[in-house]
Chains A and B, each alone.
Chain A
Amino acid sequence: MITTQDLTKRYGKVEAVREVSLDVREGDRYGLLGPNGSGKSTLVRMLLGLVYATSGSISVLGEAVPRHVGRVLPQIGALIEEPAAYPHLSGRANLRLLDAAGPSTPHGSRRTRRRRVDDALEQVGLAGIDRRPVRAYSLGMRQRLGLAAALVRRPRLLILDEPTNGLDPRGIRDIRDLLISLNASGVTVFLSSHLLPEVSALCTRVGVLDSGALVLQEQLASLQAPTGRVLVSTDDPERAVAALDGLVEHRDGADLVVRFPDAAALNARLVAAGVPVRSLLVQRRSLEEIVLNVTGSGSDQFGAPATPDASTP
């Protein structure tokens, strides 16, 4: 769906994006992670033909960008940094204007256009909005309106820059559910975020930008594959250590980190040794660790032992 080859953008001497080769596949929920200022927005703008690359190539939906961006954009819904709207108009009027502003072909009748706008508003939970102008909207409502604007054309690909900005937890959850259901119906989702939990909760594939360079791009599932360690909590750690005979890598009171690939077999062994197992947890690396590892200064050791307290599935 989106591929870039050695994409570079220089502003004067500053390299905002450096030799990025993205690979977003059809059906992905792709999360582009990176701290603020890492080049996410510049990258998103290049994908949409708003910013011209210094070097490298972009292909979106099989078409070269920016050359054929006019063919690509009608199939894309985009949220580019903050949402923006004409503040003196209502949300619905804004959507109608934006819908009418596009290429002239898929306009449809007045009624289908109206329905399209109503559907988009409903999808983001703004179905009941009144005639108030956008300037009276809360930050969350504006964000929802921005999403509705991205959805109004029923795109094949969503490119969303920080989609849950300004939303309350409930709103974040709504949007996440919406994106997952859209994805299930065949829409590829590409989002950028600096919020790790959001990406880890939503995405199937992750890229990490650090100072303009793509330092990691992988399926989330393979990143979070079991580390070969099991976290064991027991009332009798002494007996457990004895029973496991050197497999315990770390002990912290009643909690043990055991190097053992199969949790079920480990459990059987502990039970057989008469160890009272309170809980047993297959250790996976958190996204935070992964990101910190690839972006932290000089730490590119992927095999580093995980700290137990950060482990959550």
Chain B
Amino acid sequence: MIAVELLKLSRRARTWFSVALMCALPLVVAIFIAVTHLAPPPGQGSAFLSAVLDDGQLYPAAALALVLPVFLPVAVAVVAGDSIAGEASAGTLRYLLARPVGRTRLLVAKLVAVITFTLIAVIAVTVTSYATGVLILGPSRAAAVGAPPGGLSGSITPGGGGAPTAGLQPGAAITSLSGTPLTTLHLAERVLGAMSFITVSMLGVAAIAIFLSTLTDSALGAALGALATLVGSEILVTLNAASTVQPYLPTRYWLAWIDFFRQPIFWRNIERGFGIQAVYVLVFLGAAWANFATRDITT
């Protein structure tokens, strides 16, 4: 059944259109930055975007930060919201179930298809934005280019005490958020970590949308419902007064993928992000299952 769902997903134009759109956004941003040489000031705008003028290799991270807040969740909500409701409104749901496809199996297959879709989108964005970064923004520039006036480059002379070792290390491709050098291998590991975290971050949205999709026959309604939940969650996450509920919000740890680019990696919020998404999947997929398995299929 999973293979069938993947096949169905792959043969829908919408799937590839939304992936293409997600890849296009970072490309457009990169072109503007490359033409104008105006990156957002440090600490403002999307994460990593200020750094990409110095090093195009960082662009995958910036691209993920660009698609994460809106494009990716919207695409995931649309695909997941369509999962059951779309089959129901097209009338194909009754034929699938009469084939027979177990209702539980169908739900699981749908979730797997949504996860696969997310993974493909994230991989596509990463790969295209790496190419974009290297080709349009250019590879890493010389060390001191990004330094402000008066900045020195070179080794730090230990002034006694803890004797800090510093200076440019051979093989270092990139600088972590903590200022320390990372090799290309380290960078690849961390980008992979961020990609998997972002994919997992979408599980909560997917589970909510699939749950709503079992409640209604309107795919659009289910997608919008899931998005409304997300927007509400994103608003509450920024609201200090809502701090008591924040640890339970689906978007609370969305930005924790940035912690992969710290040195050492800051695992606390990453672990919590994985945990909260697991809870959302269990709760909402459980609710979806409870509802779907006992529901009369009248469409």
> A residues within 8 Å of B by Cβ?
45, 48-52, 69-70, 73-74, 76, 78, 80-89, 93, 97-98, 100-103, 149
Contacts and interface: CB of A to CB of B under 8 A. Distances in A.
Given A84-B90, A86-B90, A98-B95, A51 B100 contact: no
Given A84-B95, A100-B3, A101-B1, 16 more contacts: A45-B297, A48-B94, A49-B97, A49-B98, A50-B94, A69-B100, A70-B100, A73-B98, A73-B99, A74-B100, A84-B94, A86-B90, A97-B8, A100-B4, A103-B99, A103-B100
Nearest to A97: B4
B12 interface: yes
Contacts of A81: 91
Contacts of A102: 99-101
B92 A80 contact: no
Contact of B296 (A52, A70, A80, A88): A52
Nearest to A72: B100
B11 A93 contact: yes
Interface in B1-37: 1, 3-4, 7-8, 11-13
B96 interface: yes
Say whether chain B's binding surface is mostly helix, strand, loop, or mixed.
Answer: loop
A87 B90 contact: yes
Contact-residue bracket for chain B: 20 to 34
Given A97-B4, A101-B1, A51 B296 contact: yes
Nearest to B92: A84
Most buried by A among B7, B98, B100, B297: B98
B165 to A, nearest CB: 60
Contact of A45 (B1, B94, B100, B101): B94
Interface string B169-199: 0000000000000000000000000000000
B4 A84 contact: no
B98 A101 contact: no
A247 B283 CA distance: 79
B102 A70 contact: yes
Contact of A76 (B8, B98, B298): B98
Contacts of B92: 84-86
A76 to B, nearest CB: 7
Given A50-B296, A52-B294, A88-B11, A98 B99 contact: yes
B1 to A, nearest CB: 6
Contacts of B4: 97, 100-101
Contacts of B97: 48-50
Contacts of B298: 45, 50-51
Nearest to A149: B95
A49 B98 CA distance: 8
Say whether chain A's binding surface is mostly helix, strand, loop, or mixed.
Answer: loop
Given A51-B296, A52-B294, A80 B98 contact: yes
Contacts of A51: 296-298
A82 B91 contact: yes
B297 A101 contact: no
Contact of A88 (B12, B96, B297): B12
Given A85-B92, A97-B8, A48 B3 contact: no
A85 B4 CA distance: 14
Nearest to A93: B11
3 shortest interchain CB distances as A-B pairs: A84-B91, A73-B100, A50-B297
8 contacts: A50-B98, A70-B102, A80-B94, A82-B91, A86-B8, A88-B13, A100-B7, A149-B95
Nearest to B109: A101
A89 B11 contact: yes
A78 B100 CA distance: 11
A101 B96 contact: yes
A87 B11 CA distance: 11
A101 B1 CA distance: 5
Nearest to B297: A50
Most buried by A among B11, B92, B294: B92
A88 B11 CA distance: 8
A52 B296 CA distance: 6
Contacts of A74: 100
Given A82-B91, A88-B12, A89-B11, A101 B296 contact: no
Contacts of A88: 11-13
Contacts of B297: 45, 50-51
A221 to B, nearest CB: 31
Nearest to A104: B1
B102 A80 contact: no
A103 B8 CA distance: 17
B86 to A, nearest CB: 10
A232 to B, nearest CB: 52
Contacts of B94: 45, 48, 50, 80, 84
A212 to B, nearest CB: 15
Nearest to B97: A50
Contacts of B13: 88
B236 to A, nearest CB: 37
Contacts of B7: 97, 100
Contacts of B98: 48-50, 73, 76, 78, 80
A10 to B, nearest CB: 11
A48 to B, nearest CB: 5
